[in-house]
């Protein structure tokens, strides 16, 4: 990763607005390219993101927990303060680059979770049909797949159409309690992300920097799924 881009990424990760003001002078500075370390199996040689994408993920993480003051004992920070810092950074960049079109989608970068489900459904066709025969609703099964694939648009459509996020399915092929999965993953991913937030990136090599991006994505995308479920459940 280019030195300047790495500095920008670190400033975004720590929400250092003063540093961002110094580093991001032109629109090209918004574009970040993360080469894939040789030790990590990945289909593409690099990941392309923008400063707005990083901030979108930061905002989604802290939006979910911004009112949880108990987290101060875990993180050392008041969550609402971090959420506001993320919004301040975003507003600064929006004001400076008001014509920039951000088109970030979690589904597009699903392979950042470094697992098996970037390119296949959690519930495959065979298991899907088995569950239908057992009496499960297809819309609920589709919600499981859409959520695990981090497909925001489809999750929204399914929730609007009445999909039940409390669905719990169990057999020898695919087993999941969707809300339990999301809440457990959120706790795990947040802990991994937070451990990096409290450390100094300068002590790490690039493999660790890339893994910080993976942890950021995993925490943010999981938080986003829970935010969507919470929003549409509350609006019923």
Q: What is the pLDDT of residues 72-95, one digit of tens each?
A: 555 556 778 889 999 999 999 999
Q: Per-residue confidence at 133, pLDDT binned at 50, 70, 90? A: very high
pLDDT class of 105 with cuts at 50, 70, 90: very high
121: left (phi over 0), alpha (psi -120 to 50) or beta: beta
Nearest-angstrom CA–CA distance, 4 and 1: 8
Q: Would you say residue 71 has pLDDT above 60?
A: no
The band of 201, judged by pLDDT with boundaries at 50, 70 and 90, is low
Q: pLDDT-derived band of residue 103, with 50, 70 and 90 as boundaries?
A: confident
pLDDT at 130 over 70: yes
Q: Is residue 153 exposed (0-12), middle (13-18) or buried (19+ Cβ within 10 Å)? A: exposed
- Contact predicate 152/107, CB 8 Å: yes
Q: Which two tokens stand for residue 211?
A: 């893994």
Mean pLDDT of 156-178: 88
pLDDT class for 66, splitting at 50, 70, 90? confident
Cβ–Cβ < 8 Å for 72, 198 = no
Domain ranges of the chain: 3-115+181-234
The CB-side HSE value for 29 (13 A sphere, CA atoms) comes to 17
* CB-based contacts of 13, cutoff 8 Å, min separation 6: 54, 58, 196, 197, 201, 212, 216
Lowest mean pLDDT among 57-61, 173-177, 185-189: 173-177
Residues 154-165, mean pLDDT to the nearest whole number: 96
Measure the CA angle with vertex 71, ends 88 and 150; round to 5°.
70
| Better-predicted residue by pLDDT, 195 or 71 | 195
User: What's the confidence (pLDDT) of residue 24?
Assistant: 97
235 vs 136, residue with greater confidence: 136
Asked if residues 32 and 5 have their Cβ atoms less than 8 Å apart, the reply is: yes
Q: Is the pTM of this model over 0.85?
A: yes
Mean pLDDT of 30-52: 93
């Amino acid at each position: 990763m280019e030195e300047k881009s790495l500095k920008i990424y670190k400033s975004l990760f720590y929400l250092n607005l003063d540093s961002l003001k110094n580093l991001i002078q032109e629109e090209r500075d918004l574009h970040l390219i993360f080469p894939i370390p040789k030790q990590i199996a990945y289909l593409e040689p690099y990941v392309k993101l923008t400063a707005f994408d990083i901030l979108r993920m930061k905002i989604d993480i802290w939006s979910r927990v911004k009112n949880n003051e108990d987290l101060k004992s875990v993180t050392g920070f008041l969550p609402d303060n971090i959420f506001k810092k993320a919004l301040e950074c975003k507003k600064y960049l929006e004001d400076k680059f008001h014509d920039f079109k951000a088109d970030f989608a979690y589904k597009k970068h699903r392979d950042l979770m470094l697992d098996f489900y970037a390119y296949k459904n959690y519930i495959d066709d065979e298991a899907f049909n088995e569950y239908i025969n057992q009496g499960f609703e297809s819309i609920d099964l589709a919600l499981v797949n859409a959520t695990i694939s981090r497909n925001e648009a489809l999750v929204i459509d399914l929730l609007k159409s009445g999909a039940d996020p409390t669905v719990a399915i169990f057999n020898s092929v695919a087993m999941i309690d969707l809300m339990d999965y999301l809440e457990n993953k959120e706790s795990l991913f947040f802990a991994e992300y937070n451990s990096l937030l409290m450390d100094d990136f300068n002590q790490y090599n690039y493999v660790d920097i890339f893994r910080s991006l993976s942890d950021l994505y995993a925490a943010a995308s999981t938080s986003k799924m829970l935010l969507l479920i919470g929003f549409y459940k509350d609006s019923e």
